[in-house]
Every structure is written in C-alpha cells, then in structure tokens.
C-alpha cells in the first residue's frame, strides 16, 4: 500500500492532472492499493485567502470575483478531463455547491467585518475539496475506480485553527474505517490534503504547505509501505534550485537530515511530514511529476552509503532576531528562563537560540510578524532586571534569515564550521549569530535577509555541491 501526494503544481491544470493519472496508472500496475492525497490547484489557496481578507476589509466584490475565477478554472479543467455529460453535470453541481458556500460565508464575513479563525480554516481548505473531486473524476474517466474523500472525516485534530495538531490514534481509526473497505474493493481513494477536523467535526487546517503532512499522517494511519511526494522538483536538492541553478538531487538522505532541511526552509517538504512516519520506519520518496522516470530522493532511517560532509544548504526568510542584552547579565541566574517563559506565554515559536559565552546577550530567532509582541512581552517580563540594570536592551532586528548547512557526515569532522564561515566571509556576508544543534548534523547562522541568497550560494560553491551528486554519493 502506498500513499501518493500530488502538490499544487502537479494538479495545476488539465494537462498536469492527465500526467497524474498516468503516474497513478503506472503505480497501480505495481501495487493496486494506492491512496492519493492532493493539494489545491496551484494558487487557489492564496486566491481564497486573499478574497476573504479583502471581504473583511469591506470589499464584497472580491468574493464574487474569486468565485467566478475559481469556477472557470475548475470547470475548464473538468471539461478537458471528463467526456460523459452526466458526469460533468453532477461534478459541476458538486463544485458549485462548494463555491456557493464560499460565497455565502464570504458575504457574511464582509457584513460582520471580522474573520473568525474557524471560518478562515474552512475557506482555506476549500481548494483541496475542489481538486480532490476533479482528480477523482479524472481517474474514473481513465477506468480507475475512485471516490473523493474529505479529510475532515479522516484526520482528527485539536482546535488550533491554522496549524492544527493531529490525534494520530483517533485518525488511524477513522482513516482505516473509511479507506480500507474502499481499497479492498479495488478503489483508489483521492483524499484532500491540508485539512482535518476537531472531534466535533469543525474543519481545521494543518498549516500552509500541509498537504505533505496529510500524506505522512495518512501513511502512518494506514501503515503504508511508502509515501511518495510528487512535486515540481527532482527531489531533495543540495539547495533550492530557484536560488542555485547548479543544485543537484540528493539520491538518499536520512529522516534527520530531511527534517532539518524542511525545518529550515526547504519548501519541498512540510517540516512535520516525517514525524508520523519515523516511529514506523515508513520510507518517503520525493519525485518530480514532470519527470517521473528520474529516481528522486529516498528519505529513510539510514543516511545511505554516502559520507559527504555537507549535503545541502537552505535558508528561511522573514524572521526577526531578538536580542536581550546587558553587561549585568553575567552570572545572574534565571534570565534565560524568564526570557523563554515570556516568549512561550506570548505563543511565539522560537527557531534558533544562541548565547554568547560572555553571557552579555541572548539571541532568539522568531517570525518577523511576532517581533513587536515578543519585544513588548520581554520588556514587561524583565522589568525587574531592567530596574536592577542586569538587562539594558531588548532589540528586534529584521528582516533576518537563518541559513542552515545540513549533513550527517559533518558529525565529528573538524574544520567544517571553519570552511562554512570562511566561505561566507569571502562573500562579504556578515554573520550576526551562530548556533549548532547538538546532533551536529546542522550548523545554522543568522544573516540579514538580503544577504541570505549570497551566503547559500557561497557555501554551495565552497563545498562543491554543484558537482555531480552521483559522483560524490559513493565516495
Ligand atoms: P508542492 O506544491 O508540490 O507542494 P512546493 O512549491 O511546496 O511544491 O515545494 C516544491 C519547491 O520547493 C520546489 O519547486 C523548489 O523550488 C523548492 N525547494 C526549496 N528548497 C529545496 C530543496 N532543498 N530541494 C528541492 N526543492 C526545494
Ligand atoms: N494548498 C495548501 C497551501 O497552499 C496546502 C498545500 O498545498 O500543501 O498551503
Ligand atoms: Mg508544498
């Protein structure tokens, strides 16, 4: 049994969906038991969210415009994919019913002038409900028995709207009850990525880019033999190919390496995707739907045969560096504890921490959008320390970026950090803070956002990651 996930570009229009059908047909010849997970068609989630935000601002017209555009786009694809008149009619009715709900909620929101998180999540996830129906119809058209499933009946989550956390045990029960009979009867279910629901049935979303995570969750629930992420890149690469054109595909990496890369900005995989798969040892493949014959990347517990020191370099932008500083911090216990407690109480996620050995300052990286509230929370929480002059400043520097250099082969090898930072210095990029995880498979550092791309390119070049990965692979 395999779970195959297709991202937004891979279901982006009728041609891409035809390609999906041919990939699924080929996979069925190997293993008939397949579950397909789909994203919304490329750009649809943003379109829905933009319209709903415009509506909150009083622009009701934005809803009608989006409805018209999304209707046209999906019906155009449908017309190209499905010939039967009755099938087209019933699909059109289904898609229209969803788009009408969007319009009604959007108009309500424009009237109230407020966007409740649960309404936002329902709207955000509509694109997947549309695409799943379309893709399932395309499979049936090709003679593959299929039905569309909305994952709010399968993936049970908490009510953290916008970034809901799954209850894996409850999800396994619901998923197996719904999908195993379909698989037994020879069907290929098409499941909406990105969405889930609370135990009460209120729809939620798993976070942007979360369809990958859906595939991981469903793969674990069904104890799949493998999860395959079909996207528009050849696999995990030595750098983001949009940034570094010479980037090479990594044929094999470990869960830990893939996790670090995804966490620090390699958009090719949602960072939580592997979490449900790791305890079960289920391998994940990343493959290019434009070039199905290329082997892609295998992600599993073993790092593979290759011992390369650095495998990939990635960056994450849109961050802020918060610095708590003061000469009086030296040797005063508890400042770090107070700092992190205050940040946690403000509900802010910390991506990187660094403290200088002189203890004169403590740095943390957070999303830029959280910078002001974090600074305010810290000034308040450290009022006593300010008063006693142990802490003199709480600064926010933005926009900043983290650059992360990842590779299991870095462990225990001296001199890697020196090479990384000499490459960055030669490129004239100023390093603001440094952190190395204790796992030693990741060295990350902070730079001004505008310099992140230069740093990534410099490191990629210094470690010759653009050389044929195949050659490096088995050194
Ligand atoms: P999908 O819609 O299929 O989920 P995404 O756009 O979310 O696709 O992710 C795929 C993109 O991730 C690629 O087009 C590529 O530009 C980008 N990317 C960033 N870093 C990496 C990397 N290290 N390896 C491969 N792709 C990467
Ligand atoms: N459609 C959702 C998004 O754009 C989820 C995904 O594509 O993975 O974030
Ligand atoms: Mg994605």
Residue-level pLDDT, tens digit, the chain, 475 residues: 999 999 999 999 999 999 999 999 999 999 999 999 999 999 999 999 999 999 999 898 999 999 999 999 999 999 999 999 999 999 999 999 999 999 999 999 999 999 999 999 999 999 999 999 999 999 999 999 999 999 999 999 999 999 999 999 999 999 999 999 999 999 999 999 999 999 999 999 999 999 999 999 999 999 999 999 999 999 999 999 999 999 999 999 999 999 999 999 999 999 999 999 999 999 999 999 999 999 999 999 986 556 678 999 999 999 999 999 998 887 777 888 999 999 999 999 999 998 876 668 899 999 999 999 999 999 999 999 999 888 999 999 999 999 999 998 888 788 899 999 999 999 999 999 998 766 788 999 999 999 999 999 999 999 999 965 444 444 3
Ligand closest to CA 267 = 1
Q: What is the secondary structure of 399-465 as a DSSP string?
A: EEEEEEEE-GGGTT-TTHHHHHHHHHHHTTPPP-EEEE-TTSSEEEEEEEGGGHHHHHHHHHHHTTT
CA angle 41, 297, 24 (to 5 degrees): 45
Reference 369, options 352, 347, 345; nearest CA is 347
For 312-471, CATH number?
Answer: 3.30.2130.10
Ligand closest to CA 230 = 1
**Ligand 1 centroid vs 247 CA: distance in angstroms?**
12
- The ligand 1 atom at the shortest distance from the C-alpha of residue 234 is 25
- The ligand 1 atom at the shortest distance from the C-alpha of residue 270 is 7
Domain boundaries, the chain: 2-232, 312-471
Indicate whether residue 267 lines ligand 2 (CB < 6 A): no
CA pseudo-torsion sign 89, 91, 94, 96 = negative
Domain 2-232, architecture per CATH: 3-Layer(aba) Sandwich (3.40)
The half-sphere exposure of 417 on its side-chain side, counting CA atoms within 13 A, is: 14
* Strand ranges in 100-241 using DSSP code E only, listed in sequence order: 148-149, 190-192, 195-197, 203-205, 226-231
Q: How far apart are CA 97 and CA 106, in angstroms?
A: 14
Ligand 1 atom 11: the closest Cα is on which residue? 268
Ligand closest to CA 40 = 2
Indicate whether residue 42 lines ligand 2 (CB < 6 A): no
All residues at 6 or more sequence positions from 91 whose CB lies less than 8 Å from its CB, including other chains? 78, 82, 133, 134, 137
- The structure's pTM equals 0.94
**Ligand 1 centroid vs 37 CA: distance in angstroms?**
17
Tokens of 258: 């893939």
- The ligand 1 atom at the shortest distance from the C-alpha of residue 6 is 3
């Amino acid at each position: 049994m395999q779970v195959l996930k297709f991202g937004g570009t891979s279901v982006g229009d009728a041609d891409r969906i035809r390609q999906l059908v041919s990939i699924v047909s080929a996979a069925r010849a190997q293993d008939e038991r397949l579950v397909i997970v789909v994203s919304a068609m490329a750009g649809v989630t943003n379109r829905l969210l933009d319209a709903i935000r415009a509506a909150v601002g009083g622009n009701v017209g934005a809803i009608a415009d989006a409805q018209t555009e999304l209707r046209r786009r999906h019906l155009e694809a449908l017309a190209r994919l499905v010939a039967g008149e009755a099938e087209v009619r019933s699909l059109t009715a289904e898609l229209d019913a969803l788009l009408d709900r969007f319009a009604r909620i959007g108009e309500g929101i424009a009237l109230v002038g407020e966007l409740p998180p649960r309404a936002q999540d329902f709207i955000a996830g509509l694109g997947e409900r549309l695409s799943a129906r379309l893709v399932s119809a395309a499979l049936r058209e090709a003679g593959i028995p299929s039905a569309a499933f909305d994952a709010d009946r399968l993936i049970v989550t908490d009510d953290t709207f916008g970034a809901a956390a799954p209850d894996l045990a409850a999800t396994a029960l619901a998923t197996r009850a719904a999908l195993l009979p379909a698989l037994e009867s020879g069907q290929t279910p098409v499941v909406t990525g990105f969405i889930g629901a609370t135990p009460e049935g209120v729809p939620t979303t798993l976070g942007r880019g979360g369809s990958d995570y859906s595939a991981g969750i469903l793969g674990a629930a069904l104890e799949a033999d493998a999860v395959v992420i079909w996207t528009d890149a050849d696999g995990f690469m030595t750098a983001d190919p949009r940034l570094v054109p010479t980037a090479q595909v990594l044929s094999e990496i470990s869960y830990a390496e893939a996790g670090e890369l995804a966490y620090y900005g390699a958009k090719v995989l949602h960072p939580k995707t592997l979490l449900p798969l790791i305890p079960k040892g289920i391998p994940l493949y990343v493959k290019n739907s434009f070039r199905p014959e290329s082997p892609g990347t295998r992600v599993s517990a073993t790092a593979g045969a290759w011992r390369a020191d650095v495998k990939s370099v990635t960056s994450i932008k849109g961050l802020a560096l918060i610095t708590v500083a003061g000469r009086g911090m030296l040797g005063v216990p508890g400042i770090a504890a107070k700092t992190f407690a205050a940040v946690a109480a403000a509900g802010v996620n910390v991506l990187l921490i660094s403290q200088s050995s002189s203890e004169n300052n403590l740095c943390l990286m957070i999303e830029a959008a959280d910078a002001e509230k974090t600074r305010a929370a810290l000034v308040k929480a450290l009022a006593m320390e300010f008063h006693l002059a142990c802490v003199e400043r709480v600064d926010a520097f933005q926009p900043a970026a983290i650059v992360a250099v990842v590779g299991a082969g870095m462990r225990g090898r001296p001199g890697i950090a020196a090479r990384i930072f000499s490459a960055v210095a030669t490129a004239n990029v100023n390093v603001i803070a440094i952190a190395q995880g204790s796992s030693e498979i990741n060295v990350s550092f902070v730079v001004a956002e505008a310099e992140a791309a230069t740093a990534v390119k410099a490191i990629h070049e210094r470690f010759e990651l653009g050389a044929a990965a195949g050659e490096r692979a088995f050194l």
